[in-house]
Structures are given as C-alpha cells and as structure tokens.
Amino acid sequence: MSNTPALGERPFSGIGLGEESRQLLALAREFARDRLRPGARERDQNEESVDSEIMAEMGDLGFFGLRVPEEYDGLGLDVITYLRILEELAFGDPCPALSVSVHNSLPVEILCKQGTEEQRRAWLPLMATGEVLAAFSLSEAGAGSDAASLLTQADCDGEGGWILNGEKAWVTNGAAAGLTLMFARTDQPGDRRRSKGIGAFLVPGGLPGLSAGKKERKMGQRGSETVTMSLEDVRLGPEHLVGESHKGFQYALESLEGGRLGIAALALGIAASAAEEAFRYSAEREQFGQAVRHFQGLEWILGEMSVKLEATRGLLERAARARELGDVRARRLSSAVKLFASEAAGWITRRAVQVHGGYGYSREYAVERMFRDSRVTEIYEGANEIHRSLAARLVYRERNVSA
C-alpha cells in the first residue's frame, strides 16, 4: 500500500442545497457513517435477527417520519430531499434504509392520499416516530409481476367489517410491523374483476389469525426482514378499509411510483458506496511501482463509475420533480430511474469487486456484500423486464396512442 492521503469528503448529491436540506443530509450521513456502515457486515451475517437498536435510533432521529406531514408530527419533506437522505442511509447499509423507504413511500403515502382523517390521526403520528413500523403487502407466491392475480380474500362479515384469509409473500418489515397495508380481493370467485376487485386494508400487528413466517434466507440485503404472512379469519372493522373497496390496486400502483423512486435511491447509495471503496483502494494499492489508479484500464472503470452515478442522480431528480408536480411523465420516469439505477448499481458493484482483485472476492472486504446487496434492486418493486415494457407503453399513452 502507498502513503496516498485518504480521499476527501465526498460532496452531497444535491447542488446548491439550502441550509435545512444540508443539515438533514449531514445528520443522515453522520448516522450512516457512525452507526450503519460499521454494523453492516454483522447484520449481513446475522440474517435471522433484526437490529432493533438501529431501528429504534432511526425512529428517534425522525427517519420514519420523513414523508409524514408536519401536522401529523412528521418532517413533511419534499420528495427530492427525502430521496437524497435515502441515498445517504443506503451508502451506510441498504437494509435499514429499505425499511425507511417501504414505510415512507408506500403505507404513509397511501394513508395521506386515500385515508380518512380518522385513519390518519390514528396511525400517522405513531408511524412518524417509528413507534409503529409499517409494511406493505401486495405480492403472493403466485402473484408477483402479475400482482392483480392475487388470491387473498376479504369477505364482508355482514356488519360492515371484513374477514381476511390468504397467504402473502415477500413482505419487508412484516414480522416487526405494527401495521401492514394489506391488499385482498373484495370481489367473489364467481365474479372476478381482476384489478378492479381488490381492496386495501390496514391490518394491525398481533391480531388473532395473523402470523408471520420465518425470515427468508436471501442472497443479499440479509439484514432486511422479508417474510411470508398468513391470514386465517382475520377480522377487521369497517374503519380498516382504506378508500373504496374496489380501488386498492389503483392505490397500490400510484404509491409504487414513489416506491420505485425509493428503490432507485437505495441502488444509488449502494453504487456510491461501492465506487467509494473502489476509488480508495485504487489510490492505495500499488503494483509495478505505482498506485493502480494510474493504469488506464482501471482509470476507465473508475471514470465510468463516476459517470453512471451522476447520470443516475440527474434522472432521479428529474423523476422526483415530475412526481411532485403531477407531470404526466411521472410514472414512466419512476420506472426509468428504477431500471437505470439498479442496473448502474449492478455494473458498479461488479466492477468494484474486480478492481479489488482477489480481495474483492473475500468477505473481509465490503464490496463483496455490496455486489450481493445490489442484485435485488433489479427485481423488487417490479422486475426490470417489466419496467422496460412499461417505458415503451407509457410513451404511447403520454401521446394519446390507444392500445
């Protein structure tokens, strides 16, 4: 190793940040540096448990209330600042950052847009502090990309309430959640209406008949809790239905636009972290009498990493701005940036391993874990193949070309 000075502090993603945004990003960066990054390896190795101490600290710092409006005790941040904070958290460890993203981007958003004032008052203040961690449950074993084919059933109980039965899959935060936004069929087996026969329900944790399976053993993001959930005659009052009983799938799709922005920010954080490791190692590692960063082959890889990071940040900011303004292109751009960011993360983490040579293949070096953590960003919140199709179809839709 050479005596090359350590890399200087990396700049924040945003350019021309206001003082409040800078302070929030500095808080997130400090927490990621001092609390998330040092424990990421241990969380990866101890995948059977959830780091409850870290989750509690994130609640105390307000990370679970980033998108909760101030009137419900949250921070009420704009989308762009929220995504930059997610990038900082994911730079430290994408697993706790994923819990923050799912909680804020999906249940919080649907409650804010579709919930009654009573529902918002009952749940959002608790969600803002992290006292109640929220989960989002749409997928099932046989309903992944074709989510509208889900089979979990919600039947009226004759008194205005509902009885839920079924099996849900791939639920992030599932076992620890104090509240799960659950999607179930409100139509009947003899009269299926696909996406127009699904309702959204607020399912509190601990109800009779509700149970979580064991944590899935995964390739990456092992510190994030992913479970199956079973519902056996779970009874809910009428106050647990969100919005109209047949529009749940519509609500899910609308919130997933925001969810995909969150996943893009997570992928960006992973990629930035791997690039940081690659730049640092290339400056320190010497071969043939000089730091390896001076060899053109590696220099080109490092340069390409930098370009991909900046291109991702630019597209993410554009997609976030479109969502905030209600631009017609918002849905397409959310798919585009999720696709672009996840594949950029895959490219960067793979090359970061290569830059490290044999050490990159060792679990003693963080890039091996980052490579594994990046892989799922191309799968969850919609597989990238689906987003490629959506990108094409939505261009036609924006230009009023019918199917």
* Active-site residue list: 381
Cα–Cα distance measured from residue 63 to residue 81, given in angstroms and rounded to the nearest whole number:
12
Cα distance between residue 58 and residue 99, in whole Å? 10
SS3 400: coil
Label residue 38 left, alpha or beta by phi (over 0 means left) and psi (-120 to 50 means alpha): alpha
User: Which amino acid belongs to residue 243?
Assistant: G
Task: Output the CA angle 179-217-273, nearest 5 degrees.
Answer: 85
Residue listed under structure tokens 């601990």: 206
Which DSSP state fits 9?
P
CA distances, 7 to each of 257, 269, 278, 372 (Å): 36, 18, 11, 25
The H or E element containing residue 199 is strand 198-204
Tokens standing for 46?
A: 């101890």
Q: How many CB atoms lie within 10 A of CB 119?
A: 17
Amino acid at 141: A
Query: In this structure, how many other beta carbons lie within 10 angstroms of the beta carbon of residue 23?
Result: 11
Residue 102's contacts (CB-CB under 8 Å, 6 or more residues apart) are 134, 135, 136, 172, 173, 259, 262
Beta-bridged to residue 154, according to DSSP, are: 164
Q: What one-letter code names the amino acid at 348?
A: I
